[in-house]
Amino acid sequence: MSELILKNHVAGRDGLVHRVTPASAGWAYVGFDLWRLHPGQSFDLPTGEEEWCIVLVSGRCDIAVAEGPLWHGVGGRMDPFSALPHSVYVPWHRQVRVEALSSAEIAVCKAPGGGEYMPRLIGPDDVRTSTRGQGTNTRYPRDILPEDQPAHSLLVVEVVTPSGCWSSYPSHKHDQDNLPEESALEEVYYHRFNPPQGFGFQRIYTDDRSLDVAMAIEDGDLTLVPKGYHPCAAAHGYDLYYLNVMAGPKRTWRFNTEKAHRWLLG
């Protein structure tokens, strides 16, 4: 099995399903936790040197930030396909407590912290939506923490890709610190399918094919993109959701489309 995929599995007793750190991924910037909590279950953790964006994939929670606000009943969507997300941005050097009020799936998106930022709730009205592509290349981004919103390192976006469509396509990459043409960003994909027995595929590859991995993705899987192109596709009959977390030396998203496929942009 590729080291670039973490397969879905039953949550531990504490509710943790996936944990990616820069050390475990072999990179420098992006971290990610995925929690599945029962009603009344909680976690209480410091951000340390990181900033976080806590995304309610589903369910409802109370979220408290030490020396900051307490938000009651954050979230509420039944699944990531049915509504826009609620999220909370937390800067570095804070303590965070999250308590589930219902069964909840919670993504904690992480990157190096810095600066003087305040905790804030990012509600559905703050999420910018768009349509990208056409035909079988249609997908629907939801910008949670884009580069024009305050943060030190993190970029966070959800994307819903309809049944039978491609996403992150034509194949693009962002692994060179070569602005304004391209920015260097590590990336995590957290995948969900509707209905959940669905599946899809993701390929991660470089121009010289020194990295070239094709993976079957299923509901609840996590994939890592350290470099290279990274298109994915949803099988017919199944919509694909993914949550993207990106970070790098500069907080901007500039990508290069693979030369062989640039004709598709015309």
pLDDT (tens digit, 9 = 90+) per residue, 89-133? 999 999 999 999 999 999 999 999 999 999 999 999 999 999 999
* C-beta separation of 141 from 157 below 8 A: yes
86 by Cβ neighbours in 10 Å (0-12 / 13-18 / 19+) ranks as buried
Nearest alpha-carbon partner for 196 in 241, 130, 247:
241
Q: To which residue do tokens 């954050």 refer? A: 74
Q: What is the pLDDT of residues 251-263, one digit of tens each?
A: 999 999 999 999 9
* Confidence tier at 67 by pLDDT (50, 70, 90): confident
Q: What span, in angstroms and rounded, lies between the C-alpha atoms of 167 and 161? A: 6
pLDDT at 216: 98
Q: What is the pLDDT of residues 189-247, one digit of tens each?
A: 999 999 999 999 999 999 999 999 999 999 999 999 999 999 999 999 999 999 999 99
CATH number of the 5-265 domain: 2.60.120.10
Half-sphere exposure in the Cβ direction for 5 (13 Å, CA): 20
Residue 185: pLDDT over 60: yes
* C-beta separation of 218 from 8 below 8 A: yes
* Confidence tier at 68 by pLDDT (50, 70, 90): confident
Task: Indicate the domain borders of the chain.
Answer: 5-265
Residue 92, SS3 per DSSP: coil
Q: What span, in angstroms and rounded, lies between the C-alpha atoms of 239 and 167? A: 11
Residue 214, SS3 per DSSP: strand
